[in-house]
Amino acid sequence: MEFNNLTVEISQPIATVTVNRPNVLNALNLETVGELGTAFSMLEADPNVRAIIMTGAGEKAFVAGADITEFRGKSAPAMIPFAKKGHDVARIMESMGKPIIAAVNGYALGGGCEMAMACDIRFAADTARFGQPEILLGLIPGMGGTQRLARLVGLGIARELIYGGEQISAQRAYEIGLVNRVFPLEQLIDETAKFAHKLAALPSHALKMAKLATNYGYDQSLDNGLMLETQCFAHCWSHPNLEEGVAAFLEKRKANFHQD
């Protein structure tokens, strides 16, 4: 499928979604947000894709936020659908059964930080910068930042970043748990691809259950989360890959998993 503001490359079993508006540091206009939703839905349905990388075009930015040029002269009724679209895309990303890894190659500000947070795992270049600078425009995050940042790094640090609007380095993002790993920029894509391939080689049904149990269980009470975990755990027992994984371990050989 062709997009105006994205490239989607599939090199089985990995797909790479690249936001491709380098002249505006990959800022997200409404069309781009819609295209991201379409792209992730398409990749969810593609049986040849088992892990996804999200990144930004060029060496300067992952995504430098919502496209501020679309803000001028707008009012809440016009902008609420934009924010809701962002929420919808993030939910598509979080609810799909395949892992998404953000390769944050530069600025991840505002909606860029929010999209990175909707990915399962974040790897960053040592040059990357993170932040929720909306307050500097007289705004607050509108694509999930007020909720996901606190869930990832804790309420205290989330308040500091959202209230103050300051940018932080990749190293600081790593220290607060916003980023999983930091690499030199030139190694970022290779290292992310290596990890994506590692995930793609694992039994996809178990990976899907792991994602659903962690993502959907997180906001539940412990009892409800444990109930969900039990359902996902039980689902794994109905898949022949489990027998193969156990047999391979006991027979001291490499497992030959069937990927569905």
Give the residues lining the site for ligand COA (CB under 6 A).
24-25, 27, 64-69, 107, 109-110, 133-134, 137
What secondary structure, in 3-state letters, does 56-95 show? ECCCCEEECCECHHHCCCCCHHHHHHHHHHHHHHHHHHHH
Q: Which is nearer to ligand COA, 20 or 241 (CB)?
A: 20
Q: How far is the CB of 140 from ligand COA (least distance, A)?
A: 9
Catalytic residues: 114, 134
Contact 40, 52 (CB under 8 A): yes
**Nearest-CB residue for ligand COA:** 65
Q: If you count them, how many residues does the chain have?
A: 260
135 or 226: CB nearest ligand COA: 135
What minimum distance in Å lies between the beta carbon of 111 and ligand COA?
Answer: 6
Q: How far is the CB of 159 from ligand COA (least distance, A)?
A: 18
The C-alpha atoms of residue 179 and residue 175 are separated, in whole angstroms, by 8
d(CA 21, CA 10): 20
What DSSP character marks residue 134?
A: G
Tell which residue, 92, 96, 82, has the closest CA to residue 27: 82
Q: Tell me the closest approach of the beta carbon of residue 63 to ligand COA, in angstroms.
A: 8
Cβ proximity to ligand COA, 69 vs 238, nearer residue: 69
Task: Compute the least distance from the CB of residue 55 to ligand COA, in Å.
Answer: 16
CB-wise, 137 or 155, nearer to ligand COA?
137
* 223 Cβ contact list (under 8 Å, min separation 6): none
Q: Each residue of 9-36: b (16+ CB within 10 Å) or e?
A: eeeebbbbbbbbbeebbbbbbbebbbbb
For 204, what's the count of Cα atoms within 13 Å in the CB-facing half-sphere? 18
CA distance 47 to 1: 16
The whole-angstrom separation of Cα 64 and Cα 67 is 8
